[in-house]
């Protein structure tokens, strides 16, 4: 097998993804944007999103330059790494930021075109919304594979003969650090922005003023729609970009241990096969995602969820089949390798294949479990809706219970997945399972990003006073979008757990830690500190949303009291003031949680590498469960509110919009908003960022 040829073909897959994303973008731009009013509203949303990203990226540019300088200084003269790790770091940051910016820009063009397409039918609207999400998904996988592939080719070509190969991988790991850093700030900043606006719009509009959330009289409504793009499109894109490259790099590090295995040469597969396998799977996954996108269709009156599931699950099934042939081609039938950090020694290509299947299955199952606990049509959300009849307190109690209980099955799935992947292929199996889970990220992210585009489309329809059937179609897309978003969050959490474990194993290998013994006091101390971090991090994010939402509610109240005719619809709200409040709060509040995730592991690592190992174990276990609880509780509260809005009959009485039960459900939804869209999703990145920080500093503390 010609491994040199493979290294050059991998970046080509990234170029194919970006090329197809460009074609889809051109198609979206050719669609009609609708009436002048629709275009004016869409332009305000797009400008608000661009303004936020410009200000956020200016702050992050300073951060990237400072960290790059520190990486250069720390790695001068280091025989196991190189100052070039700073180049990888900057490349990872740029690719992550670029993917987020392109995806968000296209989403803000797709939203109004989805609204206009909904004037003619459900199918055309789904096509536009999904196309907007697909551009985000393909930019993430395309830039990830292209960036990693090019860095691997360059470093291996220039320094492969001079450096030990593990040194090449150490330098490339900086790419994941750059992606993780941008992802955390994008997720936290975008989450604070979107939830400050959403909570403000919900409480000030629905509860205090008794008007719909997307009513043009509501001054926070433009900020709310902007938030959907910067939080749920750019933020989620950055999150999965980080998981995607992190899982690949973790597997490459562990695969480098097989370079000296005789079977890799004797069977003609090549010594780099185990290192290149995750890149090849990712490249094939791009082609499969593009193919799956052609099956996402819906007829008028049909269920959009069925079309989305056909494309997503069809792509996953095809990827499972292709994985068998790829792994059989790239790896020897059997080989032996012993490692000081794992007793596993008997490997096989079939074992690696089963590990990949386990990753695909675990991701799908966690998504389905998440759908059950958060869907508008299942018992958990119905129970919360029923509890809303007796007030906000019982609604919140029920939502907390659903969120806590929902961690059980996903935790068992992850536990069985970890045991199964290890049983088939050791620590390499756990890492490659994460790659398997993320191999069709292109279409998975498309399905997720479709949701906020549909949500925006509904808002534009409401504010433009379009006929009721248009809003009915966008609401149908949006309802499915809420479910796909919840599934996406569950999938992101599952992938974060496996990716963090893969990076954890890679850290142990690079730092030469043979085992983590929790009976040792330093390791136990690290375990407790790690378990504490998700709680403190979540508290910081929640408090930030609370402060920003309070400012938003005051501003909305001020406008209703001071702008004559606003309540009657005879005057125009000052939307820009609310956009500015969310923007300033997000930029100001995102810094502290981001620094916490970077400073703590570095400090602990230089105190004791074993203590850092304990910290990684603690933050992974605690963070995964906290993320599941927060995401599922928030999703269940949201859809319980929507269930009441659609009409809830209990004991012969029907409760709908404007009822006391609805107001209680709105309170529960606003409590759940920062849980599911700010602190919960940000925990995924916290786990991976801390793990990749540990991996990058491993050569310095080994």
For residue 533, give every residue at least 6 positions away whose Cβ sits within 8 Å of its Cβ, in sequence order, or none: 596, 597, 600, 615, 618, 619, 622, 623, 686, 690
- As a whole number, mean pLDDT of residues 635-645 equals 88
Alpha-carbon distance values, 128 to 113, 331, 332, 372, 531 (Å): 7, 41, 45, 27, 43
Range with top average pLDDT, 45-59, 164-178, 602-616: 602-616
- Domain-located, residue 592: yes
- Domain-located, residue 619: no
Q: What is the pTM of this model?
A: 0.87
> For residue 13, what pLDDT is reported?
93
Question: Over 80: is that where the pLDDT of 327 sits?
Answer: yes
> For residue 612, what pLDDT is reported?
93
Question: Over 80: is that where the pLDDT of 206 sits?
Answer: no
> For residue 145, what pLDDT is reported?
93
Lowest mean pLDDT among 393-397, 481-485, 626-630: 481-485
Nearest to 112 by CA among 28, 178, 177: 28
- Domain-located, residue 44: yes
> For residue 3, what pLDDT is reported?
67
- The share of the chain scoring above pLDDT 90, in percent, equals 32
Please state the length of the chain.
702
> For residue 207, what pLDDT is reported?
63
Under 8 Å between Cβ of 147 and 91: yes
Question: Over 90: is that where the pLDDT of 652 sits?
Answer: no
> For residue 386, what pLDDT is reported?
93
- Domain-located, residue 683: no
| Count of domains observed in the chain | 1
Under 8 Å between Cβ of 434 and 691: no
> For residue 392, what pLDDT is reported?
92
Predicted confidence (pLDDT) per residue in 21-48, tens digit? 999 999 999 999 988 989 988 888 888 8
- Binned at pLDDT 50, 70 and 90, residue 571 comes out as confident
> What domain range includes position 274?
3-345+425-510+526-600
- As a whole number, mean pLDDT of residues 354-380 equals 88
Report the DSSP beta bridge partners of residue 347. 335
Residue 581: CB atoms within 10 A of its CB come to 24
- Domain-located, residue 693: no
pLDDT higher at 86 or 594: 86
Question: Over 80: is that where the pLDDT of 666 sits?
Answer: yes
State both tokens at 383: 């129970």
> For residue 202, what pLDDT is reported?
72
Question: Over 90: is that where the pLDDT of 295 sits?
Answer: no
Nearest to 253 by CA among 702, 695, 620: 695
For residue 24, give every residue at least 6 positions away whose Cβ sits within 8 Å of its Cβ, in sequence order, or none: 131, 134, 135, 138
Lowest mean pLDDT among 62-71, 353-362, 417-426, 502-511: 502-511
Under 8 Å between Cβ of 175 and 86: no
> For residue 272, what pLDDT is reported?
82
Report the DSSP beta bridge partners of residue 346. 336
Phi, psi dihedrals of residue 45, rounded to the nearest 5°: -65, -45
> For residue 290, what pLDDT is reported?
94
- As a whole number, mean pLDDT of residues 219-223 equals 82
> For residue 198, what pLDDT is reported?
79
Question: Over 80: is that where the pLDDT of 337 sits?
Answer: yes
Q: Dmax over Cα atoms in the chain, in whole Å?
A: 83
> For residue 354, what pLDDT is reported?
95
- As a whole number, mean pLDDT of residues 169-185 equals 87
> For residue 213, what pLDDT is reported?
64
What element of type H or E holds 655? strand 653-655
> For residue 486, what pLDDT is reported?
66
Under 8 Å between Cβ of 557 and 199: no
- Binned at pLDDT 50, 70 and 90, residue 277 comes out as very high
Lookup result for tokens 């954890």? 504
- As a whole number, mean pLDDT of residues 532-555 equals 89
Nearest to 578 by CA among 264, 222, 207, 79: 222
- As a whole number, mean pLDDT of residues 509-538 equals 89
Q: How far apart are CA 458 and CA 449, in angstroms?
A: 15
> For residue 282, what pLDDT is reported?
93
- Binned at pLDDT 50, 70 and 90, residue 566 comes out as confident
- Domain-located, residue 645: no
Question: Strand, coil or helix: what is 346?
Answer: strand
What element of type H or E holds 648? strand 648-650
pLDDT higher at 392 or 160: 392
Q: What HEC string does 416-483 produce?
A: HHHHHHHHHHHHHHHHHHHHHHHCCHHHHHHHHHHHHHHHHHHHHHHHCCCCHHHHHHHHHHHHHHHH
For residue 653, give every residue at least 6 positions away whose Cβ sits within 8 Å of its Cβ, in sequence order, or none: none
Question: Over 90: is that where the pLDDT of 615 sits?
Answer: yes
> For residue 266, what pLDDT is reported?
67
> For residue 208, what pLDDT is reported?
65
Predicted confidence (pLDDT) per residue in 451-467, tens digit? 888 888 888 888 888 88
- As a whole number, mean pLDDT of residues 115-120 equals 91
- Rg over alpha carbons for the chain, rounded to the nearest Å, is 24
> For residue 626, what pLDDT is reported?
94
What element of type H or E holds 336? strand 334-336
Question: Over 80: is that where the pLDDT of 581 sits?
Answer: yes
Q: How far apart are CA 147 and CA 172, in angstroms?
A: 10
- Domain-located, residue 369: no
> For residue 389, what pLDDT is reported?
92
- The share of the chain scoring above pLDDT 70, in percent, equals 96
- As a whole number, mean pLDDT of residues 193-202 equals 79
- Binned at pLDDT 50, 70 and 90, residue 396 comes out as very high
- Domain-located, residue 672: no
Question: Over 60: is that where the pLDDT of 370 sits?
Answer: yes
Q: How far apart are CA 627 and CA 640, in angstroms?
A: 20
Question: Over 90: is that where the pLDDT of 323 sits?
Answer: yes
Q: How far apart are CA 78 and CA 465, in angstroms?
A: 64
């Amino acid at each position: 097998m010609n491994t040199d040829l493979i290294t050059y073909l991998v970046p080509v897959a990234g170029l194919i993804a970006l090329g197809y994303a460009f074609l889809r973008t051109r198609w979206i731009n050719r669609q009609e944007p609708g009436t002048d009013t629709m275009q004016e509203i869409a332009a305000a949303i797009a400008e608000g999103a661009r303004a936020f990203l410009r200000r956020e990226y200016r702050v992050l540019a300073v951060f990237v330059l400072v960290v790059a300088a520190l990486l250069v200084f720390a790695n001068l003269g280091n025989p196991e790494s190189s100052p070039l790790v700073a180049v990888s770091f900057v490349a990872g940051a740029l690719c992550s930021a670029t993917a987020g910016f392109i995806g968000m820009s296209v989403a803000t063009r797709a939203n109004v075109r989805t609204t206009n397409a909904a004037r003619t039918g459900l199918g055309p609207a789904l096509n536009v919304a999904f196309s907007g999400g697909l551009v985000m998904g393909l930019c993430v996988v395309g830039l990830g594979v292209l960036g990693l592939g090019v860095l691997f080719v360059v470093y291996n070509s220039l320094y492969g003969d001079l450096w030990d190969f593990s040194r090449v991988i150490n330098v490339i790991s900086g790419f994941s650090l750059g992606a993780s850093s941008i992802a955390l700030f994008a997720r936290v900043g975008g989450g604070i922005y979107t939830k400050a606006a959403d909570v403000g719009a919900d409480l000030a509009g629905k509860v205090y003023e008794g008007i719909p959330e997307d009513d043009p009289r509501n001054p926070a409504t433009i900020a709310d729609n902007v938030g959907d793009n910067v939080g749920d499109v750019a933020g989620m894109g950055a999150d999965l970009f980080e998981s995607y490259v992190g899982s690949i790099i973790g597997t490459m590090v562990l695969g480098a241990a097989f370079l000296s295995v005789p079977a890799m040469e004797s069977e003609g597969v090549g010594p780099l096969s185990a290192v290149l396998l995750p890149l090849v799977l990712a490249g094939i996954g791009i082609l499969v995602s593009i193919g799956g996108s052609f099956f996402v269709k819906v007829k008028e009156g049909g269920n959009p969820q069925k079309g989305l599931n056909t494309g997503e699950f069809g792509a996953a099934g095809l990827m499972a089949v292709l994985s068998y042939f790829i792994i059989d081609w790239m790896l020897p039938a059997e080989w032996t390798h012993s490692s000081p950090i794992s007793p596993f020694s008997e490997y096989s290509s079939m074992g690696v294949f089963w590990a990949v299947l386990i990753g695909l299955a675990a991701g799908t199952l966690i998504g389905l479990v998440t759908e059950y606990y958060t869907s508008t049509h299942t018992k958990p959300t119905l129970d919360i809706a029923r509890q809303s009849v007796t007030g906000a307190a019982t609604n919140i109690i029920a939502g907390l219970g659903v969120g806590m209980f929902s961690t059980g099955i996903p935790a068992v799935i992850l536990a069985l997945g970890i045991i199964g992947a290890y049983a088939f292929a050791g620590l390499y199996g756990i890492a490659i399972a994460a790659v398997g889970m993320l191999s069709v990220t292109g279409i998975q992210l498309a399905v997720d990003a479709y949701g906020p585009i549909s949500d925006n489309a509904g808002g534009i329809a409401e504010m433009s006073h379009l006929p009721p059937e248009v809003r009915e179609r966008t609401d149908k897309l949006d309802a499915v979008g809420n479910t796909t978003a919840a599934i996406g969050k569950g999938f992101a959490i599952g992938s974060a757990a496996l990716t963090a474990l893969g990076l954890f194993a890679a850290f142990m290998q690079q730092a030469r830690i043979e085992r983590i013994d929790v009976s040792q006091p330093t390791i136990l101390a690290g375990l407790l500190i790690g378990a504490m971090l998700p709680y403190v991090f979540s508290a910081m994010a929640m408090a930030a949303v609370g402060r920003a939402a309070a400012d938003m509610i005051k501003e909305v109240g001020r406008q209703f009291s001071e702008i004559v005719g606003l309540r009657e619809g005879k005057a125009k709200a000052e939307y820009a003031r609310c956009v500015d409040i969310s923007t300033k709060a997000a930029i100001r509040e995102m810094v502290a949680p981001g620094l916490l995730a970077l400073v703590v592991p570095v400090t602990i690592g230089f105190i004791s590498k074993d203590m850092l190992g304990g910290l990684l174990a603690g933050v992974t276990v605690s963070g995964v469960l906290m993320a599941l609880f927060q995401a599922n509780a928030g999703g269940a509260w949201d859809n319980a509110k929507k269930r009441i809005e659609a009409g809830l009959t209990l004991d012969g009485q029907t409760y709908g919009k404007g009822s006391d039960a609805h107001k209680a459900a709105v309170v529960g939804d606003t409590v759940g908003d920062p849980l599911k869209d700010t602190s919960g999703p940000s925990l995924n990145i916290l786990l991976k960022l801390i793990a990749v920080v540990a991996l990058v500093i491993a050569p310095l503390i080994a």
